[in-house]
Structure 1
Amino acid sequence: MRPLIERLARGRAWWGFLLLLGIALEAVALYYQYRLDYGPCVLCIHVRLWIAAWMLLAVLGLLLDDRPHVRRLLHGLNTLVMAILVERSWRLLGVERGFIEGSCEMDAGLPDWLALDRWWPQVFEPWEPCGYTPELAFGITMAEALLVMSLLLGLVSALLAWASLRARAG
């Protein structure tokens, strides 16, 4: 019997989990934005974009997981996305807590060829300056939860990428 990490690296369960988690996270963000009136800042929009990127990779993983070379590429790209998500989450927490100096502009900084803030402003347009995130539960802020979640997902993604590279083709 193969170790769990190898089975996860070769199967569709991971991709399905990432897709469902991404949908849930985007839904929570939109709930906080539209029902609780916590507008997103530029860093929050960046986090949403990277979650959307992992969701796209998850869809591709579900559709193309039977091709070993594509699987390896997707696991590698997913690890890169998770690493960038860790960086964005760290920056968001740092600005919130004050250990990273800086402020955000109201421009998402997206190129014209990917102007999601103009094409889909309901989801990707910044409303607020950076500096705080709402409390989720038990005194844990959204920035803290995002950092812990992205670190865990990044670690699992890196392990799966390593396992997919180690695995024999097939």
Structure 2
Amino acid sequence: MTTPAFESLLNRLFSPCIYWSALLIGSLSAEGVALYFQYGLDYGPCVLCIHIRLWVAALVLVAVAGLVAQRCTHVQKACHLLTAVIALGFTERSWRTLAIERSWIESSCSFESGLPEWFAPDRWWPWMFEIWESCGYTPEMLGGLTMAELLAGAGVVFVPLAFIGLIRSLRSTD
């Protein structure tokens, strides 16, 4: 059971305007950082990095839909469900990237995206989704942490938040 003050805080944080705006700003920032590392610092993306970018791009679309349809309960529930799926996909790809980087698993990456032929973001938007390198290394970022470590850490935060949002939306009777 939650206190009224905590429930009030949750209501504010998960209000559609704040929640979807935060996800949109965070997603666009993450894509911007990835592109800066790619084009500004010449760290090309691997196939797993591209998969992560695709999950983040999907989150941008869902956050925009959530913002546009703030008053539509059914759309909000669908957006929360999609966000939970995106959170799981993002986190799985992030943890796999970290596991390969740390040699926790034996794996190799190809230059093939593994996506179906009809879905070809690497051909449609190569500046954003073209695979440049094989997996195994991500650049160092803040505080000596690598990009893979930060992405995995973001997933640890993102999954519970997405599922809290989903549960709250499903409980909503509006």
> TM (normalized to structure 1)?
0.95
SS of aligned partner of 2:74:
helix
- Distance in 2 separating the partners of 1:112 and 1:15: 31
Q: Which residue of 1 aligns with 2:45?
A: 40
Identical positions, percent: 47
RMSD: 1.2
Q: CA deviation at 1:11?
A: 2.2
What secondary structure is seen at the aligned counterpart in 1 of 2:135?
coil
**Distance in 2 of aligned mates of 1:49 and 1:39:** 15
Aligned residue pairs total: 169
Matches within 5 A, 1:88-107: 88-107=93-112
1:58 counterpart residue number: 63
**Contact in 2 for aligned 1:16/1:62 (Cα 8 Å):** yes
Specify the alignment match of 2:34 in structure 1.
Answer: 29
**C-alpha deviation, 1:76, in angstroms:** 1.0
- Residue of 138, 147, 171 corresponding to 1:142: 147
What's the CA shift for 1:4? 2.5
Q: Gaps (5+ residues) in structure 1?
A: none
The match for 2:134 is 129
Whether 2:69 is the aligned partner of 1:87: answer no
**Matched-pair contact (CA < 8 Å) for 1:135–1:142:** yes
1:112-162 Cα deviation digits (max 9, x unpaired): 222000111111011000001000022100000001112201111100111
Q: Which runs of 4+ in 1 moved over 6 A?
A: none
Contact residue 81 and residue 166 of structure 2 kept, 8 A: yes
Aligned-pair CA distance for 1:7: 3.7
Alignment equivalent of 2:20, drawn from 10, 15, 24: 15
Q: How much does 1:58 deviate?
A: 0.2
Q: Say whether the 8 Å CA contact 2:16–2:66 is kept in structure 1.
A: no
Q: CA deviation digits over 1:36-89, x for unaligned, max 9?
A: 110000000000000000110000000012111111111011011001111000
Distance 1:114 1:65 in 2: 29
1:96 to partner: Cα distance = 0.4
Distance 1:152 1:142 in 2: 15
- For 1:69, the equivalent position in structure 2 comes to 74
| Bigger RCO of structures 1 and 2 (CA < 8 A, at least 6 apart) | 1
**Alignment gaps of 5+ in structure 2:** none
Mapped partners of 1:126, 1:35: distance in 2: 16
Q: Determine if contact 2:59/2:83 at 8 Å carries over to the other structure.
A: yes
